[in-house]
Structure 1
């Protein structure tokens, strides 16, 4: 990952409209702002922020679920861990997980 471009506070203020347009663009990347070219703040679109928040919530929920299972003295199978990982990265919804796990044990 390359180092982000960092705008000075003066550059940010002078180009506020352009910066907002830049982050609103669907392919736009967050803009870093700071003093002496050291990042101190980030400006990003609301959709980018929501994606990051949702990803963090998924990872936290998976970590809590696994901790709960392990607190009961159980260890999830490799297949179950794979499903939980898919939820954590957003490839699988929790509803899909709820359908798949019990279905694996029905004979």
Structure 2
């Protein structure tokens, strides 16, 4: 990961409106801190929600996988691939369910 450029607290205060505009326009998060060390991040609500959603998906997949393994079972490679796709947000749980049901109905 590249080190972010960091606004000093003074710069952040002086450029608050411009910084918020920059974040809202999608140019990415802004790091703020003392002595150019990042201490806080300002990001758009949509960016924040994407991070929260991704974390929730990963947690749900990890919990589901742990539950299956607690039963003494191990998902197939295809099942693991579906779980990975859900965790990454490439497919929904509904899509994974439909694929699984279609595979077992053959």
Q: The TM-score by the shorter chain falls in which range?
A: over 0.9
Q: Deviations over 1:47-91 (max 9, x none)?
A: 000111100010010000000000000000011000110000000
User: Residue in 2 aligned with 1:72?
Assistant: 71
Higher normalized helix content (fraction of residues): 2
Query: What are the ranges of 5 or more consecutive residues in structure 1 without an aligned counterpart?
Result: none
Q: TM-score, normalised by structure 2?
A: 0.96
Aligned length: 106
Root-mean-square deviation (Å): 0.8
Q: TM-score, normalised by structure 1?
A: 0.95
Q: Deviations over 1:12-35 (max 9, x none)?
A: 000000100000013x11000011
User: Residue in 2 aligned with 1:50?
Assistant: 49
Moved over 2 A (4+): none
Query: What are the ranges of 5 or more consecutive residues in structure 2 without an aligned counterpart?
Result: none
Distance 1:96 1:61 in 2: 16
Pair 1:96 & 2:95 matched: yes
